[in-house]
Chain A
């Protein structure tokens, strides 16, 4: 299994540009989440999904959109990038039952100029 994969690894955008961060998992996990990591602020939840077709907002959803058309994929869209969105983005997946261990992707470093 590849686990959780994220692309791209690194991206530079100009203010106002749009882009999609890709996330895929091959573990048939129902739950998927997007986090951003900023120095001294830990991981903050952006959006999450409990299954295909179902998404919900986390702590910091503004400026981001998500969709979940399949169990495997959970893309994160930035419609109009802002410098405040410069961060490292992590995607994670988990099963709903048991201890709910989250499996993380390697992260995408985004720089918005």
Chain B
């Protein structure tokens, strides 16, 4: 079945780049997403990438997709304290009826 995996924690220094990685199993995924969850809140879409793209850039965010290895990454440039959150990778299945989420990566920023 579909599965999405992420590491649970990442700690970076303020001002450095953060790279959050994700692997997925469904080779027929159409869209892949990064969601952000701040403490006590629901999830908000950060960015998404269509499966026929390799890269997408949106201001400080860069998404890289390696479809052959089924690997997705999110790079946050110049990481700030406001970027502290849990980041979820997710894929949309081929029938487009449901989205499968990873376990989330908790990003913490140190001064």
Q: Are B96 and A96 in contact (CB under 8 A)?
A: yes
> Across the two chains, which residue of chain B brings its CB closest to A107?
B42
Q: For chain B, residues 67 to 111, give those with C-beta under 8 angstroms from any C-beta of chain A.
A: 88, 92, 96-104
Q: For chain A, residues 57 to 100, give those with C-beta under 8 angstroms from any C-beta of chain B.
A: 58, 90, 92, 94, 96, 99-100
Q: Are B99 and A33 in contact (CB under 8 A)?
A: yes
Chain A residue contacts of B8, Cβ below 8 A = 40
Chain B residue contacts of A96, Cβ below 8 A = 96-97
Tell me the complex Cα distance, A99–B31, Å: 7
Q: Are A42 and B88 in contact (CB under 8 A)?
A: yes
Q: Are B98 and A104 in contact (CB under 8 A)?
A: no
Q: Are A58 and B42 in contact (CB under 8 A)?
A: no
Q: Are A100 and B96 in contact (CB under 8 A)?
A: yes
Q: Which residues of A contact B (CB under 8 A)?
A: 4, 31, 33, 35, 40-45, 48, 50, 56, 58, 90, 92, 94, 96, 99-102, 104-107
